[in-house]
A and B are shown apart, each in its own frame.
Chain A
C-alpha cells in the first residue's frame, strides 16, 4: 500500500499548531516513514493536486479564505480541523463581539476599507469537517493519536468529558480551593488538564463539552467573586463563535 498523501494548510491563525507539529522532534522522522507530506507551506516548496488527509489550521475570516477552503475540501478525502481557530473560531472570533466597523477602524483607521473582512468562523461553518483536534495550541499527543488512528483505519476517539475529570486523575489541588476561578467544569478534556497542572486556570480553549450548563458555570464563577460581565467574558475567550448568542442576560 502506498503511503497516504498528507497536506497541511493554514488560514487565519498564529500558526502555533503547525509549529507544534514541527516540535514533535522525537517522532518527526518516524512519522515521515508512514506518510507522504505533499504540501506543507512553512516547511516545503512542493504542491500537490489531491490529498488523502488534509489538516486545516486557522479560522475562515475573509472572502478569499472561503474560496480556498472550498478548493481544498474538493481535493481532500479526509479533512481535519486543527486547533481552536479551526474547530470553533477560537480567539479570532472575539472580534465578532464588537461592531465590525469599530473593529476595522481601531486597527486601520481611515484605511479601513482597504482589506475585506468577515466575522471569524470555524472551518465547519463553510465545509464538512471529518475530525477535529482541539486546543490552543492543538495538543500534539492528540494529533498523533488521530493520525495513528486514521493510518490504522480506525475512527479517532473524540473526548467529550470535562477538564475536571483529567485534573482529578492527576490529583491536582482544585484551583477553586486556591482562590482562583477556572472553566474546567464545562470545558472539553483531552489536554491532560495541562493548565491547572501548571497552576493556571482553564480558559476553555478546547471548546465546551456537548451538554455544558453555562448558567450553572456562571453561577459558580459569580459566587467566587467575579462579576456577571466578567464571567461571560471568561466563557467567551475561546468560544465566542458558538456561545455568544446563548449567554444569560
Chain B
C-alpha cells in the first residue's frame, strides 16, 4: 500500500478550546498522527503565588467552567491536607452529592449534545430539535436536575459559592434536599433508563476500535471512587495520592500548550472508561444493568466506549445521590460553620475524579496561610498522549476508507474523550493536501 495522506483539522478542540488534528502519511508509512493543542495559556500556577487559602478554590474554579466544581473539590482537599483541617461527615456527604450532580450534568451534556449528533449524522444538536424533541427535552430536564443539585447546595453550578475550606458557608434545608430526592426518583431514574434505550438505539454507530492501554483512576474499596480514593493503575496497582507526580510525569511537547503525561507506558487513559475498567465492581445495581444493556463489559479497550461509560455513570450518580440524601436526612442536618483553623502550614495534595478523569491539585502554604507553590494536573492533559497513540494505531486500520470517513473517525475519537465541551464540536476547516 503506497498511500499519501495529509489531514489538518484546524481548531478542533481542547481542554477548553482550541486544537487541531494533524496526520501525515507518506508511501503508506505514518509519519505523524497528533492532536495539536493551540489553546491560549492561562498561567494559573503563577497567579496563585501569594494568595490566601480562602481564595485558592475561588481562583482555581476558574480554570474550567465545566469542571469548576471538581476543581473546587481538589483545591479544598489540597488546602485542608496542607493546613491540617478536618471536615465533618455532613460536609463529606454534601460534597459527594455535589460531585454526583456535576458528573451527571457534564456527562449528559456530552453524550446528548456533542456525541449524539455524530451518531445521527447531524452537524449539531440544533437540527435535531424538531425531529427528536422528546429526547432533547429529556436531556434538558436531566441537565436542569443535575444543575439544580449544584445551584441549591453550592449556590451556583458554574463556579460554586458555598464550598470553602473546612465546610460550607450555607447548609441546604431539609425541604430542599427532600425536593431534590423527589426529582431524582420521579425524573432522574426514569429519564436515565430512557437514556440507556436511546443510546442503545444509536450505538451501532460507535466505531469498533480496540487498543489496550494503562487505565488510571481513583479507587476506594467502599464505593465507586469519585470524590475520594487512592490512585489506581491497571498496570501497577495502588499508589497514595501524595505520590501523584510518579503517576503523571508531565512533559512539554512543541505541538501542545497543554502538557502531556505518561506513567508505565508511553501514555495512559483517564476518565469514565478508566474508572469503569478499574471500579465496575462497585457500581450500583441500575448502573450495572445499564452497562450490560449497552454492551459495556469489563475490561473494555475501545476508547469510543468512553461515552457509554458516561451514561452508566449517570445512572450510578442518580442512584447514589438518593442514598446520600437519605443518609443526610437520617443523620439530621446540622447548621455547621466551616472549620477554618489551620493546625499546621505545609504541603498538601487533593485528587478528585472529575468527569474527564483524575484531577490533582497540590499546594504549599507559608505560615500566613498564603500559597508558596501550586501545581494543577488536568485530566485532558493526561489523555493527550493516549489520544496520539490511539490515532497512530487507528489511522493505518482505516486508511482504505474515504478521507471524509477517516476524518470523522478521528474527530469522533478525540470527542469520545470529552476533552472539554468547547473542544468537541467545532472540528472544521478540514484540509486535504496531496490527495491521493
Minimal Cβ-Cβ distance residue in B for A47: B428
Chain A residues with Cβ below 8 Å from B422 are: 10, 15, 18, 41-42
Chain A residues with Cβ below 8 Å from B168 are: 199
Chain A residues with Cβ below 8 Å from B16 are: 13-15
In the assembled complex, A246 has its CB within 8 A of some CB on chain B: no
Q: Is the CB of B59 within 8 A of A91?
A: yes
Minimal Cβ-Cβ distance residue in B for A230: B52
Minimal Cβ-Cβ distance residue in B for A135: B159
In the assembled complex, B323 has its CB within 8 A of some CB on chain A: no
- In the docked arrangement, what's the CA distance between A25 and B139, Å? 9
Chain A residues with Cβ below 8 Å from B41 are: 61-62, 107-108, 115, 117
Chain B residues with Cβ below 8 Å from A203 are: 58
Question: What does the 1/0 interface line of B272-309 toward A look like (CB < 8 Å)?
Answer: 00000000000000000000000000000000000000
Q: Is the CB of B43 within 8 A of A103?
A: yes
Which of A94-102, A123-131, A143-151 lines the interface with chain B? Answer: A94-102
- Number of contact residues on A: which range applies? 35 or more
- In the docked arrangement, what's the CA distance between A98 and B44, Å? 12
Q: How far is the CB of A71 from chain B (nearest CB, A)?
A: 13
Which of A26-34, A162-170, A206-214, A215-223 lines the interface with chain B? Answer: A26-34
- In the docked arrangement, what's the CA distance between A177 and B72, Å? 27
In the assembled complex, A43 has its CB within 8 A of some CB on chain B: yes
- In the docked arrangement, what's the CA distance between A108 and B250, Å? 11
- Number of contact residues on B: which range applies? 35 or more
Minimal Cβ-Cβ distance residue in A for B411: A45
Q: Is the CB of B155 within 8 A of A12?
A: no
Within 8 A of B (CB), among A106-163: 106-109, 111, 114-115, 117, 136-137
Q: Is the CB of B157 within 8 A of A23?
A: yes
Chain B residues with Cβ below 8 Å from A17 are: 65
Chain B residues with Cβ below 8 Å from A28 are: 140
Q: Is the CB of A44 within 8 A of B65?
A: no
Q: Is the CB of B140 within 8 A of A44?
A: no
Which of B157, B158, B254 lies in contact with A114, CB distance below 8 A? B254
Q: Is the CB of A44 within 8 A of B42?
A: no
In the assembled complex, B119 has its CB within 8 A of some CB on chain A: no
Question: What does the 1/0 interface line of A1-43 toward B look like (CB < 8 Å)?
Answer: 0000000001111111111101101101100100001001111
Q: How far is the CB of B344 from chain A (nearest CB, A)?
A: 21
Q: Is the CB of B169 within 8 A of A200?
A: yes
Chain B residues with Cβ below 8 Å from A174 are: none
Q: Is the CB of A15 within 8 A of B65?
A: yes
Q: Is the CB of B162 within 8 A of A98?
A: no
Q: Is the CB of B252 within 8 A of A114?
A: yes
Q: A26-B144, A198-B170 are in contact. Are A19 and B129 (CB under 8 A)?
A: no
Q: A25-B140, A136-B62, A194-B156 are in contact. Are A41 and B161 (CB under 8 A)?
A: no
In the assembled complex, A73 has its CB within 8 A of some CB on chain B: no
- In the docked arrangement, what's the CA distance between A65 and B164, Å? 34
Which of A22, A102, A200, A230 lies in contact with B46, CB distance below 8 A? A102
Q: How far is the CB of B216 from chain A (nearest CB, A)?
A: 23
Q: A14-B16, A137-B159, A200-B169 are in contact. Are A45 and B124 (CB under 8 A)?
A: yes
Q: Is the CB of A23 within 8 A of B143?
A: yes
- In the docked arrangement, what's the CA distance between A15 and B58, Å? 16
In the assembled complex, A49 has its CB within 8 A of some CB on chain B: no
- In the docked arrangement, what's the CA distance between A230 and B50, Å? 9
- In the docked arrangement, what's the CA distance between A92 and B235, Å? 38
Chain A residues with Cβ below 8 Å from B183 are: none
- In the docked arrangement, what's the CA distance between A233 and B55, Å? 10
Which of B114, B155, B158 lies in contact with A195, CB distance below 8 A? B155
Chain B residues with Cβ below 8 Å from A64 are: 40
Q: How far is the CB of A213 from chain B (nearest CB, A)?
A: 23
Which residue among B65, B68, B170 has the maximum number of chain A CB atoms within 10 Å of its CB?
Answer: B65
Q: Is the CB of A91 within 8 A of B65?
A: no
Chain A residues with Cβ below 8 Å from B51 are: 233
Minimal Cβ-Cβ distance residue in A for B68: A16
Chain A residues with Cβ below 8 Å from B170 are: 198-200
In the assembled complex, A46 has its CB within 8 A of some CB on chain B: yes
Q: Is the CB of B155 within 8 A of A115?
A: no
* A-B CB contact pairs (8 Å), 24 listed: A14-B66, A14-B68, A15-B17, A15-B65, A15-B421, A16-B62, A25-B147, A26-B140, A41-B425, A44-B425, A47-B428, A61-B41, A65-B40, A94-B59, A98-B49, A106-B49, A107-B41, A107-B46, A115-B41, A198-B162, A199-B168, A200-B155, A200-B164, A237-B55
11 further contact pairs, Cβ within 8 A, besides A15-B422, A29-B136, A43-B425:
A16-B68, A22-B113, A25-B143, A43-B124, A44-B426, A94-B47, A137-B159, A198-B162, A198-B170, A200-B162, A230-B52
Taking Cβ atoms with an 8 Å cutoff, the residues of B that contact A are 11, 16-17, 40-43, 45-47, 49-52, 55, 58-59, 62-66, 68, 109, 113-114, 123-126, 129, 136, 140-141, 143-144, 147, 155-159, 161-162, 164, 168-170, 252, 254, 257, 420-428
